Amino acid sequence: MVKMTLIARVTDGLPLAEGLDDGRDLPDSDMYKQQVKSLFKNLSRGHNEASRMSVETGPYIFHYIIEGRVCYLTMCDRSYPKKLAFQYLEDLKNEFERVNGPNIVTAARPYAFIKFDTFIQKTKKLYQDTRTQRNIAKLNDELYEVHQIMTRNVQEVLGVGEKLDQVSEMSSRLTSESRVYADKAKDLNRQALIRKWAPVAIVLGVVFLLFWVKNKLW
């Protein structure tokens, strides 16, 4: 069963449309939406060029296709037939390109094609029940092949970006800490100097003082 549907532009991760009441009766829909968003971000950075992919996350699975710089993504139950899910996405893609094709590149504001949600809603209903004639026929369609589509885990996918992030974070931490180290070393150096010469200076000071006092008094 389709849980949520999102359409975004790959180049910058800008969301273009989203299913209407997505996330209804989904307790942690926010978390999944967050995952989708980071997935889009990864895509926009150029990771995961595969144009069709399934990504497992918890009890659900994301399916997405990328075509014409637009990513169509849906989240389903794991039990939902992969074949149907991808046909659903194909349907969306065809309609979306037909309606909004030329404007996709120029869209500037988020959800510029939010009007598409009514179509998403309609199509979703068609795919809701796997046992309708129509869907069974689709399932049996030999021509549509989905076996080669790779399945990976969401941690893996997001992990790629995360690792890069971690490395850059670590390196930046390294620079900042080495700077701190340099500062501290300088400081210690100075303190050592003071410790070394302070007694001498004090003794000399006292001697001179005595001299001076002596000269003054006598």
Partner 1 sequence: MNTENRNFPARPPPPPFSSSPFASAPPPGVVPPQSGGPEAVGFRPPARPFTPSGPPMAPPAGVMRPGQPPLVSQLPGSRPPPPSFPSTAYGPPGGGGSFQRFPTPPPSGVPPPPQTLAGHLSPPMSFRPQQPMAPVTMGPPPQSMTSGIPGGFASPSGPGFQQSMPGGPQPSYPGYPSNQVLRGPPKPFQSPSQGPPSAVSSYPPQTGGFAQHPGQQNMHPSYAPPPTSNVQGLVEDFNSLSLSNIPGSLEPGLDHTSFPRPLDGDVEPSSFAEAYPMNCHSRYLRLTTNAIPNSQSLASRWHLPLGAVVCPLAEAPEGEEVPLIDFGSSGIIRCRRCRTYVNPYVTFTDSGRKWRCNICSMLNDVPGEYFSHLDATGRRMDLDQRLELTKGSVEIIAPTEYMVRPPMPPIYFFLIDVSFSATKSGMLEVATQTIKSCLDNLPGYPRTQIGFITYDSTLHFYNMKSSLSQPQMMVVSDLDDIFVPLPDDLLVNLSESRNVVEAFLDSLPLMFQNNVNVESAFGPALKAAYMVMNQLGGKLLIFQNSLPSLGVGRLKLRGDDPRVYGTDKEYTLRVAEDTFYKQMAADCTKFQIGINVYAFSDKYTDIASLGTLAKYTGGQVYYYPGFQSSIHGDKLRHELARDLTRETAWESVMRIRCGKGIRFSSYHGNFMLRSTDLLALPAVDCDKAYAMQLTLEETLLTTQTVYFQVALLYTASCGERRIRVHTAVAPVVTDLGEMYRQADTGSIVSVYSRLAIEKTLSSKLDDARNVIQQKIVKALREYRNLNAVQHRLGSRLIYPESLKFLPLYGLAIGKSTPLQGGPADASLDERCAAGFTMMALPVKKLLKLLYPSLFRVDEWLLKPLADLDDLKDVVRRLPLAAESLDSRGLYIYDDGFRLVLWFGRMLSPDIAKNLLGADFAAELSRVTLQEQENGMSKKLMRLIKKVRENDPSYHPMCFLVRQGEQPREGFLLLRHLIEDQMGGSTSYVDWVLQLHRQIQQNA
Taking the alpha carbons of 145, 148, 153, 155 in that order, is the dihedral positive or negative?
negative
Q: Within 68-87, which residues bind partner 1 (CB under 8 A)?
A: none
Q: Is 1 in the site for partner 1 (CB under 8 A)?
A: no
Residue ranges in 108-167 that form contacts with partner 1 under rule CB under 8 A: 108-111, 114-115, 117-118, 121-122, 125
| Of residues 60, 59, 43, 61, the one with CA closest to residue 51 | 43
**Residues with Cβ < 8 Å from 28, sequence gap 6 or more?**
none
Q: Which is nearer to partner 1, 118 or 189 (CB)?
A: 118
In the complex, the smallest distance separating the C-beta of residue 67 from partner 1, rounded to whole angstroms, is 21
Minimum gap (Å) between residue 108 Cβ and partner 1: 6
How many residues belong to the site for partner 1 (CB under 8 A)? 19
Measure the N-to-C terminal CA separation of the chain; round to a whole number of Å.
Answer: 107
Q: Helix, strand or coil for residue 27? A: coil
* 67 neighbors 93 (Cβ within 8 angstroms): yes
Is the distance from CB of 5 to CB of 18 less than 8 angstroms?
yes
**Closest distance of CB 23 from partner 1, Å:** 8
Q: Which of 14, 107, 146, 160 binds partner 1 (CB under 8 A)?
A: 14
Of 157, 5, 6, 7, which Cα lies nearest the Cα of 70? 7
Segment near partner 1 (CB under 8 A); pick from 66-74, 107-115, 158-166, 171-179: 107-115
The one segment of 64-72, 74-82, 103-111, 188-196 that binds partner 1 by CB under 8 A: 103-111
Question: Which residues, in sequence order, are bridge partners of residue 75?
Answer: 4, 62
Question: What's the rounded Cα separation, in Å, for the pair 193 and 6?
Answer: 66
Q: What's the closest the beta carbon of residue 104 comes to partner 1, in angstroms?
A: 16
Smallest gap, in angstroms, from Cβ of residue 22 to partner 1?
A: 8
Q: Cα separation of 66 and 52, whole Å?
A: 6
Closest CA to 164 of 45, 60, 72, 67: 45
Of the candidate residues 24, 45, 186, 190, the single one contacting partner 1 (CB under 8 A)? 24
For partner 1, the closer of residues 42 and 54 by Cβ is 42
| Minimum gap (Å) between residue 146 Cβ and partner 1 | 28
Would you tell me which residues interact with partner 1 (CB under 8 A)? 14-15, 17-18, 20-21, 23-24, 108-111, 114-115, 117-118, 121-122, 125
